[in-house]
Chains A and B, each alone.
Chain A
Amino acid sequence: MLSGFAAVLAFGAAATLALAPSVAAAHGATPQKVVETIEIGAPPEKVWAVVGDFADVSWRPEIEGVEAQGGNVPETAIRRLYYKRGGSLDERLVQYDGAAMSLRYIIERADINVLPVGNLSATLTVRPLADGASRVEWKSRFYRAFPGGNPPEQFTDEVAVDAVTRIFKAGLASLKAKLERP
């Protein structure tokens, strides 16, 4: 924990984040899909107040710390996520529609030891349900970490799908718990 927070503090300078290189793995492999949804007993506006704040990842249990800048402005907003298990990723907001309660982000600086994927984009959308509750959908397109054919066993399609699925499921469950807390 201590070393993780030290990393957050050391990160500091905004310029470092802005200079983070754009990484796109060479790939001819098969893009993968993950879609997870959850119903939350809270009004959509209240859910979107959390989900729609790109800097707020307090509901994601795998994240220990975050350094964010650029608010909710597409292309400008960027965040560095520090994982509890170690390592970090940079994500950039690429689309934001407050009226539709939907945003899309990409992993701009990947680390396959943190998350074994390449070229990930993901969308979070909050939709109203008839009874005043909400449904949150989190969906993503990505590739396995190994771009070529016959990937090593730690970088297969299945490993990538499993890793993203676990993060989405845990995140949505935690979001629900946070918002339904009296």
Chain B
Amino acid sequence: MTSSRARAQLTFGARAPWTAFGVGLCLLFSSARADEAFIPNQGGGDLAIVDLAAMTTAARLPLGGKPAGVAVAPDGARVYVTSPEGGFISVIDAKARRLEKRIEMPGLPFGVAVSPDGRKIYVADMNGRDLTEIDPQSGARRKAEVGAVPSGVAVTPDGAWILVSARDDDALVLLDAAGLTKRATIAVGRHPFGLAIDAAGQRAYCANVESDDLSVVDLKAQKLVANVKVGKRPYGVALASGRVFVANQYDETVSVFEASSLTPLAVIKVGEYPESVAASRDGTRIYVTNWFSNELWAIDAKSLEILGKTETGEGPRAFGAFVRATD
């Protein structure tokens, strides 16, 4: 995250004697140009690939099966999209912007995450109680029992731990990735859904749909640190610029907190029925999908200004890490 920003600075610094304003402007555009959003439109059955610098749809791939969950591989080469109603995962060649293949998975595959080395994907089955680990190359798979209605999935930056929200157990479940073994069940708010883990792998955050709060979990201690009140019907959560962003579906807002102190900083009005939030790879921006109004909004993570909006397609869910760096 910091490295891509430093690289951009070097490139522009070396090229020409920009004015301070010019450099700032170029940095803004250069960092943004490096990102794309992969937005599954569940109602429309397709995947919109959005150029985040221009805030326009660059491509649209028909996937079928009511696509909902998404995860971009850390190296950006592939993007995985779950189609719960089709019972499959689409493997997207991100650079070529084409469907590479489908991986069948019975049940309702929903939340998905990729291991840091890109060799494994972890998929939650909302119709069952399991998390499935799949090697997307060989198709080899393992399963672990998680709990009631597994929904969101996240992996620690070192790849050692997998975190799953067991929605109807009101708990987060921590599994060690090596053995795919359940190591801890941490009680949180009611119906945890969207998840985020910080860059240090120390804290996890989950949005609790029914109790209208955000739970903060210490991953080392495997303990709940705090429950913080947010807006009505929180769905997605993301971290950027030392802040926590939570999308509140009924309030049609994004709640912003300081990550370290959990001090509330702002509540931003967004589009209709916001669902998923993701940060730009350099952490300067936040993107929000608005399911009812079919939009993606860009928000400055520091100033909290609305930077732009674009139409996505019918019913954008984009549940997961939907932003890809192209550089």
Contact = CB atoms under 8 A, between A and B. Distances in A.
B84 A24 contact: no
B315 A28 contact: no
A28 B126 contact: yes
A33 B315 contact: yes
Contact of A94 (B87, B232, B315): B232
B191 A24 contact: yes
Contacts of A94: 232, 250
B127 A148 contact: yes
Contact of A31 (B42, B108, B110, B210): B42
B66 A30 contact: yes
A110 to B, nearest CB: 15
B87 A24 contact: no
Given A33-B292, A139-B292, A149-B127, A28 B250 contact: no
Interface residues of A, number: 19
A149 B108 contact: yes
B107 interface: yes
Question: Could you tell me the dominant secondary structure of chain B's interface residues?
Answer: loop
B315 A149 contact: no
B295 to A, nearest CB: 14
Chain B: number of interface residues, binned into ranges: 20 to 34
B43 interface: yes
Question: Could you tell me the dominant secondary structure of chain A's interface residues?
Answer: loop
Interface in B134-183: 148-149, 151, 167-168
Interface in B245-262: 250-251
Given A26-B149, A26-B168, 7 more contacts: A26-B126, A28-B84, A30-B84, A30-B315, A95-B250, A95-B251, A141-B291
Interface of A: 22, 24, 26-33, 94-95, 104, 121, 139, 141, 147-149
B292 A26 contact: no
B292 A27 contact: no
Interface string B66-103: 10100000000000000011010000000000000000
Contacts of B126: 26-28
A28 B127 CA distance: 7
B42 A30 contact: yes
A25 to B, nearest CB: 10
A31 B125 CA distance: 17
Interface string B302-316: 000000000000010
Given A24-B191, A31-B42, A141-B292, A95 B84 contact: no
A62 B251 CA distance: 29
Contacts of B168: 26
